[in-house]
A and B are shown apart, each in its own frame.
Chain A
């Protein structure tokens, strides 16, 4: 395991120390200063929680060489970062990218430089969790988070990241808000595209397969419920089945009579939906509304 982490971290590109440290009180002018083509840039610490330390590039990996991280610190490419329990750090890369390193994580800034009209960033992840958000700006951002068994490539996104476990080699790559992420597994060469609200694990299942496994609907007795109850269970079920049917919600309509033709349950035969009030800002498409009931105002 130590060898895999070492292999990961050995990829760190030890570039020349970046420009002068960025000011803490008014960092914007320095942070937005355009870097020359190929010039290495430096990340800046904007928030620290708990105990976070970093190892400058080129320094021997001795306990005394690690320095506690503070707000305003400038971290050039080649810097290693580690966080303890109950600790995290948020870094700003230029004026449009923020990277968060969560608890119990060992990571490294492997690359951060400008190439033409593109800003390239590469984060090495030994273990733990890294999250990031990239806002659209004048420069194109090309960001990669890399662990020993998987790599994540970013395509202009908000709140994406990777969790990697060194003990088992398992990983999770996720995208929470917007954009598009591509996941690549080194061991098999498989690639998966991750869209907002999706994640991919080391199994590299497609989202449609993953979603089938994580959305569990408990139907206690498929033949003893009405269509309405079945629909309610599917929509509101908690997985607790008969203990909490429908999460406490009920179906419409009267009780279906017991005996022949009745199941003793409820049905929707007497239910008549009321007029649908369209949501504010609803768009009325000239080709129709696909059975949603939305009628253009007269």
Chain B
């Protein structure tokens, strides 16, 4: 009887120890300092078309730069702190998240920033709960999924650079379709109608 109780206690203690040791590992984030450094030194074209598509995970520095490009069409900031201050001032990111420059960013945070830029307020849950914190990033992913701007993978997953480029393109089209900046739709029918008919 006492032996069985002892065995059960040992199992419980082992499980507790394993859980305690796993918690810090689960909370740690991937850091990519060199990648973030390089992203700040590149011109916009190289950043968008060569650097980002090659990254398996995007850092906060890269995501912030991409968000400013999406919101303004150009990025005149030089360093991460300028971009962070600008995004916080405009309510595009939340200081409560304590995102660090070199850490890889999750899809939920990116989705929330895109929702802010696109003026997507979401549904009842996102307005009631997400507006002050709980589930904000998860609701943002669901909202972008609903609008076919993002796929439905979890909000806590890291975002790849190619995914970010795809999202930027679709979000930019979303802005243009709603007249958020002056843009004429890409027209190929008009120009081809104006081409000179071939001779007999």
B124 → chain A closest CB, angstroms: 14
**Among A63, A138, A167, contact of B166 (Cβ-Cβ < 8 Å):** A167
Chain B residues near A182: list those with CB within 8 A: none
CA distance A31 to B198 in the complex (A): 11
Known A85-B172, A104-B172: A159·B45 in contact at CB below 8 Å = no
**Is the pair B173, A103 in contact by a Cβ cutoff of 8 Å?**
yes
**Is the pair B196, A85 in contact by a Cβ cutoff of 8 Å?**
no
Which one, B4-12, B32-40, B87-95, B182-190, is touching chain A? Answer: B182-190
CA distance A82 to B184 in the complex (A): 19
CA distance A50 to B161 in the complex (A): 23
**Among A28, A51, A92, contact of B45 (Cβ-Cβ < 8 Å):** A51
Chain B residues near A135: list those with CB within 8 A: 192-193, 195, 197
**Among A28, A159, A168, contact of B151 (Cβ-Cβ < 8 Å):** A168
B52 → chain A closest CB, angstroms: 10
**Is the pair B188, A99 in contact by a Cβ cutoff of 8 Å?**
yes
CA distance A234 to B193 in the complex (A): 37
Chain B residues near A104: list those with CB within 8 A: 48, 165, 168-169, 172
CB within 8 Å of B: which A133-173 residues:
133-135, 137-139, 158-159, 165-168
Closest to A105 in B: B169
Known A49-B183, A51-B45: A98·B173 in contact at CB below 8 Å = no
CA distance A53 to B199 in the complex (A): 34
**Is the pair B195, A92 in contact by a Cβ cutoff of 8 Å?**
yes
Chain A residues near B49: list those with CB within 8 A: 82, 106
CA distance A133 to B186 in the complex (A): 12
Chain B residues near A131: list those with CB within 8 A: 186, 188
Chain A residues near B99: list those with CB within 8 A: none
**Is the pair B162, A166 in contact by a Cβ cutoff of 8 Å?**
yes
Chain A residues near B197: list those with CB within 8 A: 135, 137
CA distance A46 to B44 in the complex (A): 24
**Among B53, B73, B188, B195, contact of A127 (Cβ-Cβ < 8 Å):** B53
B184 → chain A closest CB, angstroms: 7
**Among A31, A85, A127, A134, contact of B192 (Cβ-Cβ < 8 Å):** A134
B-side interface mostly: helix
Q: Is A96 an interface residue (CB 8 A)?
A: yes
Most buried by A among B165, B188, B195, B198: B188
Q: Residues 151-169 of chain B: 1 if any A CB is under 8 Å from the residue's CB, otherwise 0?
A: 1000000001111111111
**Among A51, A90, A127, A138, contact of B165 (Cβ-Cβ < 8 Å):** A127
**Is the pair A159, B162 in contact by a Cβ cutoff of 8 Å?**
no
A33 → chain B closest CB, angstroms: 12
Known A63-B46, A90-B186, A98-B192: A166·B53 in contact at CB below 8 Å = yes
CA distance A283 to B43 in the complex (A): 62
Chain A residues near B184: list those with CB within 8 A: 49
A-B interface contact total, Cβ < 8 Å: 129
Chain A residues near B48: list those with CB within 8 A: 84-85, 104
CA distance A102 to B169 in the complex (A): 9
Q: Is A2 an interface residue (CB 8 A)?
A: yes
**Is the pair B172, A86 in contact by a Cβ cutoff of 8 Å?**
yes
**Is the pair A137, B188 in contact by a Cβ cutoff of 8 Å?**
no
CB within 8 Å of B: which A157-215 residues:
158-159, 165-168, 177
Known A2-B53, A166-B53: A100·B188 in contact at CB below 8 Å = yes
Q: Is A12 an interface residue (CB 8 A)?
A: no
Chain B residues near A137: list those with CB within 8 A: 197-198
Q: Is B69 an interface residue (CB 8 A)?
A: yes
Chain A residues near B24: list those with CB within 8 A: none
Chain B residues near A165: list those with CB within 8 A: 162, 166
Most buried by A among B70, B162, B192: B192
Q: Is B79 an interface residue (CB 8 A)?
A: no
**Is the pair B166, A85 in contact by a Cβ cutoff of 8 Å?**
no
Known A95-B196, A167-B166: A85·B69 in contact at CB below 8 Å = yes
Q: Is B181 an interface residue (CB 8 A)?
A: yes
CA distance A90 to B166 in the complex (A): 21
Chain B residues near A266: list those with CB within 8 A: none
Known A32-B198, A86-B176, A95-B196: A168·B191 in contact at CB below 8 Å = no
Other contacts beyond A61-B50, A103-B172: 14, CB < 8 A: A53-B45, A63-B42, A85-B70, A86-B73, A96-B198, A100-B186, A104-B165, A131-B188, A133-B191, A138-B199, A159-B189, A166-B53, A167-B160, A167-B166
Query: Closest 3 A-B residue pairs measured CB to CB?
Result: A104-B169, A167-B162, A167-B163
